[in-house]
A and B are shown apart, each in its own frame.
Chain A
Amino acid sequence: MTGTEPASGAAHLRWRPAPLAGLRAVAPVLVLLVALLVALAVVDPGFFDPERLLAFLRRSAPLVILAAGQYLVIVSGGFDLSVGAVVTAGVVVAAELFNLAPGLPWLVVVAVLLLGGLLVGVVNGIVSTVFAVPSFIATLGMMLVLQGAVFFWTQGAPRGYLPEDYRMLGRSAVPGAEWLPWAVVVLAVVGVAAVLFMRSDTGRTLVATGDNDVAAGLAGVRVARLRILAFALSGVAAAVAAILVGGFTGVSAQAGSGYEFQAITAVVLGGVALGGGRGSVVAAMAGAFSLQALFTLLTLLGVSGALESAVQGVIVITAVAVGGISWSRRATRTHQPVRESV
């Protein structure tokens, strides 16, 4: 109905984003990341040894994966504060499972954790969409529920242990390629999946929903369902992080504490707008690497680890303020309400 004359192949190319357009969103955080890496190389000339670099990547993997999941929620207009508690719960549950049923195949435990993360995310999503509880509160509540459940179950001292084969993903290398940690492989898979997802129709629609959910709904987007999906994927990402953290550090009732704020800081550092609609997943993951690099640098400089959270607080406020200044200036220009004239 809209004309079916053969389309010149070039016509649509004009409207394709320029090949490097994506780079613009990522550029500031990449500059930051490079600066931090250079600083690391200056402070510690051995940092770029392949082995140590891979160790850095492995250490970063949980946070980068959490940031990718957190990005999905933030870009669609929400927050997920429950991911740290999911990590803790995942570590503790795995240990308890091996305690209850020694000899359980490790893949079964992995599957249980992934399903559990999915379930937590779906509940977060349903509470914040169907029941219209602001996601900040919904996921804060979920965080408390999970923390309380873990504490109740373990009495503060988790029992059990994580067998060697289960911990492999977190701390061992790929057989036959001893230089390559499994965690880096998992990280690469998650990273590629996240990028592909954000290029898909669903991913683009998710960003559009975060930008203007009224317009998206009127364009046929199932807004609630899409937001639930974002929370669900964030929950799964948190479960993946739990598997890596468990392998890396072993059983602890504090395994995931603080990760939710680190993930949000990372996403914000990547230039992703709180409230949704703007920012790239690559930038969010680069933000996570930057944060990890910063922590490493501070440690190398002998700054007390106790200051980490203070530094993180300053970063979050600064990053949001910088994003907010330019945004509010534009907002006054473009967000004039359309009123019937005269």
Chain B
Amino acid sequence: MNQRGTPLLTVRGMSRSFVGIRVLTEVDLDLAPGEVHAVVGENGAGKSTLMKVIAGVHQPDSGRLEIDGVPHRFPDPASARRAGIGIIHQELTLLPDRTVAENVFLGREPVGRGPRRLLVDRAAMVERTRALLAEVGAVSFDPGTLVRRLSVAQQQVVEIVKALAGDARILVMDEPTAPLAEHEVDLLYDLVRRLTARGIAILYISHRMREIFDLSDRVTVLKDGRVTGTLATRDTDRDELVRLMVGRELRDYHPPLAAPGDLGEVRLAVRGAGNDRLRDITVEVRAGEVVGVAGLQGSGRTSFARALFGADPLTTGEMWLDGRPVRPNSPRAAIRAGIALVTEDRKGQGLVLRQPVLDNALLVLRAAFAGRRRAEVEPVEVGELLTRLDVRAGASDREVRFLSGGNQQKVVLAKWLAARPRLLVLDEPTRGVDVGAKAAIHEFVRDLARQGLSVVMVSSELPELIGMSDRVLVFRDGTISGELPARPSEERIMRLSTGAEVAV
């Protein structure tokens, strides 16, 4: 299916597994010259893996890839680049202390003739960069500018020009608007249109509905690593796309939700709060309640967790805990006020990996509570906790880095529960945790809620959110875009996350 002659890129039956888990299954995709082809899907649908396979970062287990009808195999990213595939990553990869021109021609600098072969022809490099910049309509900066001085949007332009300088005919853009401010998005749109006018094909990965409908000619929807549809953008609408993205059975068992009588007084109240990543947050969480927080990456869901915990403090608005005003400006202040945060990055932020289980489990108590309170809890209760959580460590003085992900996460939980928090904030509590430990953690969290703990649980896994939450807050663009009652549909969550449905 191509409207403009031979497809530039064809992918057929592409599959790829990681450690036995199928991430891509029999994916078909084609890309015509001058086309913007959007790829959408929720977190973990396989978008990034597909992109990486096309770019030679990963190799497919099976399937074909053709450019202009000629089969290609990419053992590494460099060979994909030589074949004309350029990638614009989400994180920009330029050298900040080099000029624009030096970045554009990095590793393939033009050289002089004859004996001057050994020298970079700087004049040619600058001229060609200037020409490329003019071609894409970027006139706000000069080839000689240091990349450090450019805005993120301008750096993105440099990335694109860099790909063009390598004669890329296919550009893969991974959520290109994610790092951009609102007014910069229009510039990107402009640029994309100029590129397609030159016959360059763009594979545009995004889950923002507006961009897809503004820019793309066709959309391919991925769900759980399979293509659930490829549609002409003008013949579809947001509802249809969301339906194709979601609609999974709720397979996993989850503990029963809170009954109306289980909920206590309002424990956490936030009104009109914000900081440089969040705005206008108003939330109430009751004692005994588990409130889920949904949202795409960069929507502010993790910023919200960190703000409650004082790691990136709120700068505006008000916050109360059990009716008393608190606005923690450091983790320590939050901990002493009764707030705990299980971070999403367990190894980087949650554990001291080279210390034994007990030292990890006691860390919060030792650090934040001196004197009587500390003496009350240790050591019996911490040992009890570890036992109740069924942490399996082999030898008791084993360093936690040798534990499995599930056991590590239980140690993190024990560390926080030892401090007897009133509000437990969880960010991706079961990421990288095996199925058994996951069920155990869910059960344990619900059990704590039943005893009166308030829980705020951020998760990118919709089944977990739906199964565990008494209520779901959906974040988008740094604020709450909607609030859903217990057992919402994946569809509703995705609609609010992507902006397909606005506000409640």
Interface of A with B (CB < 8 Å)? 1-3, 7-9, 11-18, 21, 201-202, 204-205, 207-208, 211-212, 214-222, 277-278, 330, 334-335, 337-338, 340-342
Contact = CB atoms under 8 A, between A and B. Distances in A.
B326 interface: no
B349 A215 contact: yes
Contact of B49 (A204, A212, A342): A342
Contacts of A13: 383
B396 A208 contact: no
B170 to A, nearest CB: 22
B383 A212 contact: no
Interface string B203-232: 000000000000000000000000000000
A220 B379 contact: no
B420 interface: yes
A11 B341 CA distance: 26
A277 B351 CA distance: 12
Contacts of A16: 358, 379, 383, 396
Contacts of A340: 43-44, 297, 460
Contacts of B362: 201, 204
A215 B311 contact: no
Interface in B332-365: 332, 335-336, 341, 343, 345-365
B434 interface: no
Size bracket of the B interface: 35 or more
Contacts of B415: 219
Given A278-B354, A341-B44, A204 B381 contact: no
A12 B49 contact: no
Contacts of A202: 366
Contact of B349 (A21, A208, A218): A218
Contact of A221 (B354, B367, B385, B401): B367
A2 B420 contact: yes
Interface of B: 23, 43-49, 297, 309, 311, 331-332, 335-336, 341, 343, 345-368, 370, 374, 379-388, 395-397, 401-402, 415, 417-418, 420-422, 431-432, 448, 451-453, 460
Given A202-B366, A215-B351, 9 more contacts: A2-B418, A13-B383, A16-B396, A205-B363, A205-B367, A207-B359, A330-B401, A334-B353, A338-B432
A192 B460 CA distance: 51
B346 A338 contact: yes
A93 B348 CA distance: 46
A330 B395 CA distance: 18
A9 B384 CA distance: 9
A17 B297 CA distance: 40
Contact of B352 (A215, A338, A342): A215
Contact of A342 (B44, B380, B417, B453): B44
Nearest to A4: B381
B367 A220 contact: yes
A215 B420 contact: no
Nearest to A278: B354
B396 A201 contact: no
Nearest to B386: A15
Given A216-B352, A334-B353, A342-B44, A18 B49 contact: no
Contacts of B386: 12, 14-15
A212 B311 contact: no
Contact of A216 (B341, B347, B363, B453): B363
A149 B348 CA distance: 43
A97 B274 CA distance: 59
B358 A1 contact: no
Given A218-B311, A220-B332, A277 B349 contact: no
B62 to A, nearest CB: 18
Contact of B353 (A212, A337, A342): A212
A239 B397 CA distance: 36
A18 B395 contact: yes
B309 to A, nearest CB: 8
A211 B353 contact: yes
A219 to B, nearest CB: 5
Given A17-B396, A215-B348, A342-B48, A334 B401 contact: yes
Q: Which of B43, B384, B431 has the most CB of A within 10 A?
A: B384
Contacts of A216: 352, 363, 367
Nearest to A335: B347
A7 B380 contact: yes
B383 A219 contact: no
Given A11-B384, A12-B382, A15-B361, A205 B354 contact: no
A205 B353 contact: no
B366 A204 contact: yes
A207 B48 CA distance: 39
B451 A3 contact: yes
A253 to B, nearest CB: 42
Nearest to B377: A2
Contacts of A342: 23, 44-49
Contacts of B341: 218
Contacts of B358: 15-17
Contacts of B346: 338
A186 B402 CA distance: 40
A214 B352 CA distance: 9
Contacts of A337: 348
Contacts of B364: 219-220
Contacts of A214: 348-349
A12 B402 CA distance: 20
Nearest to A203: B366
Contacts of B365: 201
Given A18-B395, A218-B331, A212 B380 contact: no
